[in-house]
């Protein structure tokens, strides 16, 4: 009972102190003349103090599963809460495509390096790989316009960078513009930092002790419990900014917060204290972080923002991640079903959203009398019917190879994105059909899926050639 009260008190004090720390550091950054983008980075760093402190404490105590779980699990939750939930609550948050690329490229790079670090790459090497991309990104964000224009880059690149940074600065200026700080803010920031460190340490220690007492796996304690409670300040800030229409600020907080979490909370301390041997559950968490990052950014780029449907898919992705992690802990291992099923469903839903027909796809396809959108929906229906027949017949009739009909049908749309989406859906269905066919994760299923993938890739390439030919004519 005492440990539960200490944990609850640690959560409350840590969140309150981190909020105070964010506001005071922003004021001090404004006084120091930081750019709006750097103010956003300072805000993200301060809001990440609970996650970073909890992770560092766990790594220092020889609990790498908790430490890595807090940081990477927080990042997965951030994507769901800062982007998914914010989009659902606000109805829509708009992003400039240049802003998505500016923050998205380093965001995806950090996520991929994280996956490599928890599997095959040493933490020090992961830190060096992260610095290669994230370091220049942070440096460019802090440059004034004249300095960016003087960089030894091609003129087209320089103009693109200036436009992207300017678009982000415009929104961050209103989102994080505080008043100038004073010495009182410096004192308050120092007090708040000490409080956050102390409260987060108590929170990590009590949560771990409670987890051991009730036989809760360390990855659950770190990747779910601590990850969620330490990320709440960022989630509240993102929803608030999204409702005010500050899309670039929401995206900046989400991506920069995740990158700072990885660098300060995982790579630096792990380079000093070690990360321990790779585990299947750690790999699962990191893989979901990388995959959900790519999906969220792809949806944001394609739609020039996120609406309620893409936001709901991102949230569903987080819930699928939670389910996969809980099942893996309950079974004591990562099985193929646990790893593939949730990911296949979210990948298929994301592919459908990314390629959903727009007004231009009412044009006629290669099939006379059929519009592009109608023919694409037919390709999905064909795949669904084949899958239903396969599942109903069980192991007596294996029709996974017949799923190539979907990409073939989509080829007639002359749209490579629609054909690629039909291929992803066919592969997801083929993965799921391995269970009723009783060939899941066998050489037979892999061979059939490889055939579907090869045909789908060829169909996508053919659609790209047809689309390019039509656009030239």
Residues 39, 91, single domain; the answer is: yes
- CATH number of the domain that residue 234 is part of: 1.20.1420.30
The per-residue pLDDT for 213 is 75
One domain for residues 332 and 304: yes
Task: Please indicate, yes or no, whether residues 41 and 171 belong to a single structural domain of this protein.
Answer: yes
Convert the pLDDT of each residue in 198-212 to its tens digit. Answer: 777 777 777 777 777
N-terminal to C-terminal alpha carbon distance within the chain: 74
Q: How many domains does the structure of the chain reveal?
A: 2
Are residues 20 and 188 in contact, defined by beta-carbon separation less than 8 angstroms? Answer: yes
Domain match, 363 and 340 both: no
Dist CA 17 CA 32 (whole Å): 22
Single residue among 312, 329, 354 that ends a domain in this structure: 354
**255-267 residue pLDDT tens:** 888 888 888 888 8
Confidence of residue 9 (pLDDT cuts 50, 70, 90): confident
Q: What average pLDDT does the segment 288-313 reach?
A: 89
Please check whether residue 223 is in contact with residue 48, taking contact to mean a CB–CB distance below 8 angstroms. no
Q: Is 70 exceeded by the pLDDT of residue 8? A: yes
pLDDT in tens, 56-109: 777 777 777 777 778 888 888 889 888 888 888 888 888 888 888 888 899 999
Residues with Cβ within 8 Å of 86's Cβ and at least 6 positions away in sequence, in order, are: 93, 238, 239, 241, 242, 250, 306, 311
Is residue 287 located within the same domain as residue 321? Answer: yes
User: Is residue 398 domain-shared with residue 420, that is, in the same domain?
Assistant: yes
pLDDT surpassing 80 at residue 175:
no
Where a domain ends, among 354, 386, 416?
A: 354
Mean pLDDT within 284-304? 89
Instruction: Give CA–CA dist 281/289, Å, rounded.
Output: 12
Classify strands 92-94 and 305-307 as parallel, antiparallel or unpaired: antiparallel
pLDDT for the residue numbered 449: 92
Residues 106-165 have pLDDT tens digits of: 999 999 999 999 888 888 999 999 999 988 888 887 777 777 777 787 878 788 877 777
Q: Which domain holds residue 380?
A: 358-472
Tokens of 275: 């990360």
Tokens of residue 361, six digits: 């796809």
Residues 277 and 370 in one domain: no
Asked if residue 248 and residue 369 are part of one domain, the reply reads no
Domain boundary among 304, 330, 354: 354
Task: Provide the pLDDT for residue 454.
Answer: 94
In contact, 18 and 196? CB cutoff 8 Å: yes
Of the chain, the percentage scoring pLDDT greater than 90 comes to 13
Instruction: Looking at the structure, tell me whether residues 347 and 367 fall in a common domain.
Output: no
Residue 447's pLDDT band, with cuts at 50, 70 and 90, is very high
Whether residue 227 is found in the same domain as residue 272? yes
pLDDT at 177 over 70: no
Same domain, 107 and 214: yes
Q: What is the mean pLDDT of the chain?
A: 80
Separation CA 317–CA 45 (nearest Å): 25
In terms of domains, do 346 and 406 share one? no
């Amino acid at each position: 009972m005492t440990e539960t009260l200490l944990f609850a008190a640690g959560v409350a004090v840590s969140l309150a102190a981190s909020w105070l720390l964010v506001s005071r550091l922003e004021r001090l950054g404004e006084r120091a003349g930081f750019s709006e983008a750097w103010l956003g980075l300072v805000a993200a760093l301060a809001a990440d103090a609970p996650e970073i402190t909890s992770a560092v404490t766990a790594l220092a105590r020889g609990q790498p599963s908790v430490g890595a779980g807090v940081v990477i699990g927080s990042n997965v939750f951030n994507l769901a809460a800062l982007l998914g939930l914010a989009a659902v609550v606000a109805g829509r948050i708009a992003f400039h495509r240049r802003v998505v690329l500016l923050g998205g490229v380093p965001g995806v790079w950090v996520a991929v390096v994280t996956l490599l670090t928890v599997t095959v790459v040493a933490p020090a090497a992961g830190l060096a790989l992260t610095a290669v991309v994230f370091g220049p990104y942070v440096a460019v964000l802090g440059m004034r316009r004249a300095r960016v224009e003087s960089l030894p880059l091609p003129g087209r690149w320089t103009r693109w960078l200036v436009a992207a940074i300017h678009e982000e600065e415009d929104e961050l200026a209103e989102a994080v513009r505080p008043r100038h700080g004073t010495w009182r803010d410096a004192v308050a920031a120092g007090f708040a930092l000490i409080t956050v460190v102390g409260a987060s340490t108590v929170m990590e220690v009590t949560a771990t002790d409670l987890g051991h007492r009730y036989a809760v796996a360390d990855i659950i304690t770190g990747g779910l419990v601590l990850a969620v409670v330490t990320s709440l300040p960022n989630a509240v800030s993102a929803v608030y900014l999204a409702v005010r229409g500050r899309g670039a600020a929401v995206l900046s907080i989400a991506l920069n917060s995740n990158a700072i979490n990885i660098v300060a909370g995982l790579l630096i301390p792990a380079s000093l204290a070690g990360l321990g041997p790779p585990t299947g559950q750690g790999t699962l968490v990191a893989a979901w972080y990388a995959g959900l990052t790519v999906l969220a950014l792809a949806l944001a780029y394609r739609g020039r923002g996120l609406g309620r449907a893409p936001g709901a898919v991102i949230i569903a992705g987080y819930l699928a991640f939670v389910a996969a992690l809980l099942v893996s802990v309950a079974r004591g291992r990562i099985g193929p079903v646990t790893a593939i099923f949730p990911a296949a469903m979210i990948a298929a839903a994301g592919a459908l959203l990314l390629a959903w027909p727009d007004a231009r796809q009412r044009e006629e396809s290669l099939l006379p009398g059929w519009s592009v959108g109608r023919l694409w929906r037919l390709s999905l229906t064909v795949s669904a019917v084949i899958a239903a027949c396969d599942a109903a017949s069980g192991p007596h009739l294996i029709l996974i190879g017949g799923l190539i009909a979907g990409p073939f049908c989509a080829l007639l749309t002359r749209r490579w994105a629609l054909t690629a989406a039909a291929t992803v859906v066919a592969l997801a269905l083929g993965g799921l059909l391995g269970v009723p066919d009783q060939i899941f994760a066998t050489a037979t299923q892999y061979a059939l899926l490889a055939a579907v993938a090869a045909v789908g890739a060829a169909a996508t390439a053919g659609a790209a050639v047809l689309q390019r030919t039509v656009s030239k004519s």
